[in-house]
Amino acid sequence: MAILELKNIIKQFGDTTVVNDVSLSIEQGEFFTLLGPSGCGKTTLLRMIAGFESPDSGEILLDGKNINALPPEKRPLHTVFQSYALFPHMTVQENIAFPLKMAKWNKDKIIPQVAELMEDVQLEKFADRYPHELSGGQRQRVAIARALVDRPKLLLLDEPLSALDARLREHMHVELVKLQEETGVTFIYVTHDQSEALALSSRIAVMNHGNVEQLGTPRDIYSRPKTYYVADFIGKCNLLKAKVTEIEPDTLRIRIADSFELSLPNETGITKVGQEGWFAIRPEKIKANWDPRSEDGIANFKAVVKGYYYYGDGTLYEFTLENGTVLQCMLANSRPHQAAFFQDNDEVYISINPLAGNFLVK
Ligand SMILES: Nc1ncnc2c1ncn2[C@@H]1O[C@H](COP(=O)(O)OP(=O)(O)OP(=O)(O)O)[C@@H](O)[C@H]1O
């Protein structure tokens, strides 16, 4: 059942439409992420859910009730920001207990509730420290514990990890997912970092200029992007110009980069021969070998190695097809020794399974 529903939300600042008719339904217990580049409207959408901004039109429903007119302090939710906003004169324990004191909880109930949260975020040892005696990661854990202590219906997180270094961020990803599962609180997370969104979320709404461009699980969004924007924004992707040359009931034949043809399922019901677009395929879905592959349905092309970049877990190769088109291919460095598979100017065969990519309409 949906805990939060956004219905046709529109928000303008002056002449600019920042959120453009967004409708979303978020389920109880989800880790839901709003993902997009700076300025796409994700923070404004989160601020409207929190009540810090009002939509110009549209409805926000929490548990089926319209909360458009409910002031922020009356909404059963908390927001965690990039800056920790802890009370400097209070210890960790006092900071976490604060919402319960404000809600006039009985002291006997406050103590075990705070102890449980401190354990969840592994801060028991720091209970009597003040914020200035903690690291950035520890402070953010206090902020998150404080925001969860009264078990809100929603926890809103606005780029909460962006002030932390990469290693600590990865550690916090694991902690956040665990916390969300343990508490069962619905998380709504805002980030511009696509790898963070893929790692954390049950579902992602990819935003672009105030619109939700695609909504789906991390796997859907990564492996079946529906638009050029999503394919390009999330991860690395080969986006090759393509044109429909034939349509059969369930199959499309497309000519790619003016050099080769592939047949693939007509997933989006394209009806126009000559339709222009792109063939999108992730670098790790492309294979490169010394000889062509002979499996059914696999297309093979001659290519030359133009360069390669060592990434530790994989090597990214750039190949040039005979007509000059460049393709990127990621090969896992899974062999025990370190030598590269191919060297510059080697002649190889690229093989593409059409089912590993998709046709995006222009
Ligand atoms: N109070 C405001 N008054 C006028 N314009 C605003 C206001 N708040 C946000 N904007 C504008 O609305 C647009 C969307 O801002 P928003 O903060 O929602 O984007 P964002 O995707 O969260 O980006 P960022 O990650 O940079 O915060 C931006 O162009 C921003 O300048």
* Cα 315 → chain centroid: 24
Q: Establish whether residue 192 lines the binding site of ligand 1, counting it when its CB lies within 6 angstroms of any ligand atom.
A: yes
Q: Establish whether residue 294 lines the binding site of ligand 1, counting it when its CB lies within 6 angstroms of any ligand atom.
A: no
Cα–Cα distance measured from residue 340 to residue 26, given in angstroms and rounded to the nearest whole number: 46
Q: Note whether 296 and 147 are same-domain residues.
A: no
Q: What is the pTM of this model?
A: 0.90
Best of 44, 56, 206, 212 for a ligand 1 pocket test (most atoms within 8 Å of beta carbon): 44
Closest approach atom of ligand 1 to CA 37 = 21
Please give the pLDDT value at position 198: 95
pLDDT tens column, 213-269: 999 999 999 999 999 999 999 999 999 999 999 999 889 999 998 888 899 999 888
Atom 3 in ligand 1: residue holding the nearest Cα: 13
- Looking from the CA of 290 toward its CB, the CA atoms found within 13 Å total 3
Please give the pLDDT value at position 337: 64
Q: Of the residues 231, 263, 287, which one is the last residue of a structural domain? A: 231
Please give the pLDDT value at position 338: 58
Q: Note whether 45 and 104 are same-domain residues.
A: yes
Q: Note whether 24 and 67 are same-domain residues.
A: yes
pLDDT tens column, 63-82: 999 999 999 999 999 999 88
How many domains in the chain?
2
Centre of ligand 1 to C-alpha 216, Å, is 24
Task: Give the CATH number for residue 355.
Answer: 2.40.50.140
Closest CA relative to residue 48, chosen from 27, 28, 77: 77
Please give the pLDDT value at position 137: 87
Closest CA relative to residue 200, chosen from 57, 62, 33: 33
The domain containing residue 256 runs over which residues?
236-361
- In the chain, the amino acid numbered 8 is N
Q: Note whether 241 and 214 are same-domain residues.
A: no
Q: Note whether 65 and 155 are same-domain residues.
A: yes
Q: Which residues of the chain have pLDDT under 50?
A: none
Q: Note whether 193 and 300 are same-domain residues.
A: no
Cα–Cα distance measured from residue 150 to residue 117, given in angstroms and rounded to the nearest whole number: 10
Strand partners, 59: 7
Please give the pLDDT value at position 340: 65
Q: Establish whether residue 15 lines the binding site of ligand 1, counting it when its CB lies within 6 angstroms of any ligand atom.
A: no
Task: Give the CATH number for residue 198.
Answer: 3.40.50.300
- In the chain, the amino acid numbered 92 is V
DSSP string of 209-234?
TTEEEEEE-HHHHHHS--SHHHHHHS
Segments in the chain forming alpha helices (H)? 42-50, 92-102, 107-120, 136-148, 166-183, 194-200, 218-223, 228-233
* Cα 16 → chain centroid: 25
Q: Of the residues 213, 231, 249, which one is the last residue of a structural domain? A: 231
Q: Note whether 226 and 256 are same-domain residues.
A: no
